[in-house]
Structure 1
Amino acid sequence: MNVARTQIQQEARPAHRPGAALAALAAAQFTVMLATSIVNVALPQIRAGVGLSDAGTTWVVNAYGLAFGALLLAGGRAADLLGRRRVLIAGLALFAAASLAAGAATAPGVLIAARAAQGLAAAAVAPAALALAMDQFPSGPGRGRALGVWGAVSGAGGAGGVLLGGVLTQAWGWPWIFHSVALGTVLVLAAVAALVPAAPGRREGRFDLLGTTAVTLALTCLVWGLTTARGAGWTDGRVLGALGSAAALLVAFAVIERRRPNALVPPRLLTTGRVAAGNLLMALLGSVWIGLFFFLPLYQQQVLGSGPLATGAGQLPLAGANMLGASLAPRISRRIGAPATVITALLTEALGLLWLSRIGAHGSYLADILGPSILIGLGLSVAFVQLTALAVEGVPREDAGLAGGLVNTTRQVGGAIGLAALATLAGSVTARAATHQPHLEALTAGYRAAFAVSAALLAATALLAPVLTRSTGARPAGTPARRSTDPRTV
């Protein structure tokens, strides 16, 4: 009797303080996104401080993204099977330890290994935190508002990383970008432990080790090949071998999953609601998202001559617009419908990127960056909120962690593909322009090309969105899914 009463009380706890729990979980997501971009403006100082080569400097960024993208599906399924709160707390503890190790690193290998450990931890944190956040809010307007908060902190984390990295690097040196993340993560861990209740129950089942190994190796080869292609070129033997291996492993993964009762990605997940559509569109959005936070700081520093602090501060309008758009996204969706919201958001972001494609070698922040940043922040945040809603629509509670891992995986892998392609494009345009233009003009030509192609890709995505989302009818983010009959669905 006492056991039953305790279980009932434990299951009721999420409804008591859902706002506080959401704040703690959103802080975990913010931390993960922060670590993606916080090193960008500090790379020259990190290179000098640790003695990195050109390739090693690239891997300070790539090691985190590689581990994060490759292990997200495994992290999401582990959260479903082992308990989301437990996996989240373990992931945050590892994230803090890895951040401390990165800040204390004096050798290139140690720093890169610590960044990989950060990515591994993030792959546990992100899907577990999203699934727990959805546990706090059953389908309805409350979930829409929760996803608005999620979108705000996700976008603000990317922009805030650039700002915080610039401030800390200029004030106290590059190690503090990692020490500050470690300290913040410890505070987030304490908040999660105090405010977030465990999700009711865990799924019975075995971990799909064979499928997990196949897809993790496939994603590792894919992301490694794409990131290596940025420097070595698409015809390099290592790049072709990695991409070919990724393709073969993905085929093997598909065959394995069809025959396993405990599949890592069960076919039912991709046929639920508009999960497949949401993930495909999120991959296309991610292909532009990651590149934006890569090229924009480079233009500010290498062409406009801004220092780390000024470059970081220049991200504030984008972050502010992002938070505003995310807070308005559920309201807009309820008023005009989900498909129209997605299309409008994507076209708004595309317009901002098209504006950025007109940057000049002798431009200024106010004339060339401020206006586009506001448009991009608004469009990016609204699209992110709506596509996240689509990607978890109607998913049963027992698959919520996997759904969170899947949508994060598609965004990360889409970002890796997009960044590799855009970096190759920008580099080739710059190389051709350098034969007859000064250095700054050549650099700017490459950045303009990257922004123009990004705008075109988002415009094409906006045209594709209604085709993919109309099959199950328009539904605003946060409103009940008509197809779900299980009261436990998230």
Structure 2
Amino acid sequence: MTRDTSATNAHPALTGRLRLALVILLTAGFTLAVDFSILTVALPRIGRDVGIAADGLQWISTSYAVCAAGFTLLFGRVSDLVGRKRLFLIGMALLGVSSLCGGLAVDPVMLLGARVAQGLATAMVTPAALSLLTTAFPEGPVRERALGLNGALMAAGFTTGAVLGGLLTDALSWRWAFFLNVAVALVVLCLAPAALSESRADHRTRLDVPGALTVTLSLVAIVYGATTAGQSGWESAGVWAGFAVAGAALIAFWLVERRVAQPLIALSLLRRRGVAWGNVAGILAFATETALVFPLTLYLQEVLGIPPLLTGLSFGVLGIGTVLGGLLAPRIIARVAVRNTIVAGFAVQAVTTLPLAFAGPDRSWVIPLLVLTFLGGVANLVAIVGYVVASTAGIPDAQQGLATGLVTMSQQVGIALGTPILAAVIASRGGADGYGLLPGIQTAILVDGLLCAAAAILIAFALRPRGRDRGARTLDVASPSAGGGDRSPAEPSVGRC
């Protein structure tokens, strides 16, 4: 689709085809977000049906998360080279086939193989869909609204997955959590070829295989290390082995990217503060909010004795908050700029999370918990939309697949890392169930809130206006065509003084 840069600050009417394309891309993103959590409630029943022991159940989720996070940057770059529409369709086809296999699985090998394939499909579809969205809509209000909806639905999908998984498991069977993907994939594959236009880099380049291998190994290793920490504690040899491999692979990746003629990541892209620090903000935003669901689930079920189905439904309040935050974020960005939007989002999220660290064993805490999680969901999505705008603004179309690959990698790494870290915090405080868990839950929530506060401070300093921008009004990163200001063409401004 062509970019109309002259319409950056206008509100052009969307054609029917563009509207259909937006619905298709948002539906795909929401479905993949649901997949991160839809099986969580059903894990014990799945284990009994296919023969997976209790200590191996975590691999049903981990095998998916490791592949989704580990390969997303690679496929983001592949989408630039082979075509974003093409990779999107291939990924959706793989999602449909793998989900069908998962729903029909009768043994651990078939089920875990299906989850690995689903993770690879997610790594293909997510960056391709996001880059199709950013290249279809011009920078400014139109793109911000589209990104706001995308962010809202993706974050809402994570909490919706827990609710939907419980409902499907109780009413039908856990297998329908897989079959639902098959239906979505078929609808998307029928509509997408006509609604989407192909988009790729203008110049074909060779894929940086050494860079792809090293960065993928690093991401897989760090997710494995964090997951092992949540399951076995920080003293486990597997934790530090995973982190050591991740560190060594990252160093190797950096050396490769400095020397290869056509790198997987152009280092000039990472020198953009909006890209580099925006993605750091993305990891923290997704890690803090999605991880908070874990200690709150334990609190509601194990401490307060609330049934699993009602626990899942209670997180619908968080989902509503995220949708509202996604709708409000573009308006906030327009008024206070991207940097201030991200900082405000994290600050409010911290303020609404920290009081939950004092939750006691009394059910009178339920109403305050629902109110605070709703407000925290709104704030979290404001920060998420801000980081997506900062990380993709001013990037040439030829590098949009790479930029959106970084964005989706941040999302998936954050989701994959957050819960294991808080699980390890809870485990370190002891207590197996009931009130004995409460000190660990309180500590984990406190850590989560402090991370939000630290993120607000970090982004406030990292994206503050520099040198010549001080004392003058700089341009919002979401409005590159607006007049005034003094900005280097290599790096869009990310805030106002």
Partner of 2:453: 459
CA distance in 1, matches of 2:186, 2:202: 26
Shift of 1:419: 2.7
Shift of 1:133: 0.2
Shift of 1:96: 1.2
Shift of 1:320: 1.2
Partner of 1:447: 441
Aligned length: 470
Shift of 1:157: 0.8
CA distance in 2, matches of 1:8, 1:283: 31
CA distance in 1, matches of 2:322, 2:124: 25
Partner of 1:140: 140
TM-score where L is the length of structure 2: 0.89
Any residues of structure 2 matched to 1:84-123 within 5 Å, and which?
Answer: 84-123=84-123
Shift of 1:44: 2.1
Q: 1:468 aligns with which of 458, 462, 465?
A: 462
Q: Is the 8 A contact 2:233 2:428 kept in 1?
A: no
Amino acid in structure 2 at the alignment position of 1:67: C
Shift of 1:129: 0.4
Q: Is the 8 A contact 1:67 1:220 kept in 2?
A: yes
Q: Which moved more, 1:397-406 or 1:422-431?
A: 422-431
Any residues of structure 2 matched to 1:258-277 within 5 Å, and which?
Answer: 258-272=258-272, 274-277=274-277
Q: Is the 8 A contact 2:338 2:478 kept in 1?
A: no
Q: Is the 8 A contact 1:304 1:364 kept in 2?
A: no
Q: What CA deviation, in whole Å up to 9, does each residue of 1:270-290 have, x standing for no partner?
A: 123511110111122222133
Q: Is the 8 A contact 2:286 2:411 kept in 1?
A: yes
Partner of 2:238: 238
Q: Is the 8 A contact 1:31 1:181 kept in 2?
A: yes
Shift of 1:483: 4.8
Shift of 1:47: 2.1
Shift of 1:383: 0.6
CA distance in 2, matches of 1:209, 1:167: 43
4+ residue segments displaced more than 4 Å: 472-477, 481-486
Amino acid in structure 1 at the alignment position of 2:452: L
CA distance in 1, matches of 2:422, 2:275: 27
Asked if 1:166 corresponds to 2:166, the answer is: yes
Shift of 1:201: 5.6
SS at match of 1:470: coil
Please report the RMSD computed on the Cα atoms of aligned residues, expressed in angstroms. 2.3
Partner of 1:21: 21
Shift of 1:19: 2.5
Shift of 1:469: 1.4
Amino acid in structure 1 at the alignment position of 2:197: P
Task: Assess, with a 3 A threshold, how the Cα gap between structure 1 residues 203 and 130 changes in structure 2: closer, same or farther.
Answer: farther
Task: Assess, with a 3 A threshold, how the Cα gap between structure 1 residues 397 and 244 changes in structure 2: closer, same or farther.
Answer: same
CA distance in 2, matches of 1:456, 1:273: 24
TM-score where L is the length of structure 1: 0.90
Amino acid in structure 1 at the alignment position of 2:54: D
CA distance in 1, matches of 2:379, 2:306: 26
Task: Assess, with a 3 A threshold, how the Cα gap between structure 1 residues 154 and 341 changes in structure 2: closer, same or farther.
Answer: same
Any residues of structure 2 matched to 1:357-368 within 5 Å, and which?
Answer: 357-363=357-363, 366-368=366-368
Unaligned runs of 5+ in 1: 1-6
Q: Is the 8 A contact 1:162 1:311 kept in 2?
A: no
Identity over aligned pairs, percent: 36
CA distance in 2, matches of 1:273, 1:374: 31
CA distance in 2, matches of 1:202, 1:364: 60
Partner of 2:494: none
Amino acid in structure 2 at the alignment position of 1:48: R
Q: What CA deviation, in whole Å up to 9, does each residue of 1:294-316 have, x standing for no partner?
A: 33333333333344432332122
Shift of 1:337: 2.4
Task: Assess, with a 3 A threshold, how the Cα gap between structure 1 residues 269 and 328 changes in structure 2: closer, same or farther.
Answer: same
Amino acid in structure 2 at the alignment position of 1:389: V
Partner of 1:3: none
SS at match of 1:357: helix
Shift of 1:457: 0.7
CA distance in 1, matches of 2:437, 2:65: 25
CA distance in 1, matches of 2:60, 2:256: 34
Asked if 1:124 corresponds to 2:124, the answer is: yes
Task: Assess, with a 3 A threshold, how the Cα gap between structure 1 residues 203 and 367 changes in structure 2: closer, same or farther.
Answer: same
Amino acid in structure 2 at the alignment position of 1:283: I
CA distance in 1, matches of 2:320, 2:417: 27
Q: Is the 8 A contact 1:166 1:310 kept in 2?
A: no
Shift of 1:484: 4.9
Unaligned runs of 5+ in 2: 4-12, 482-486, 492-497
CA distance in 1, matches of 2:406, 2:358: 35
Task: Assess, with a 3 A threshold, how the Cα gap between structure 1 residues 191 and 372 changes in structure 2: closer, same or farther.
Answer: farther
CA distance in 2, matches of 1:158, 1:190: 26
SS at match of 2:234: coil
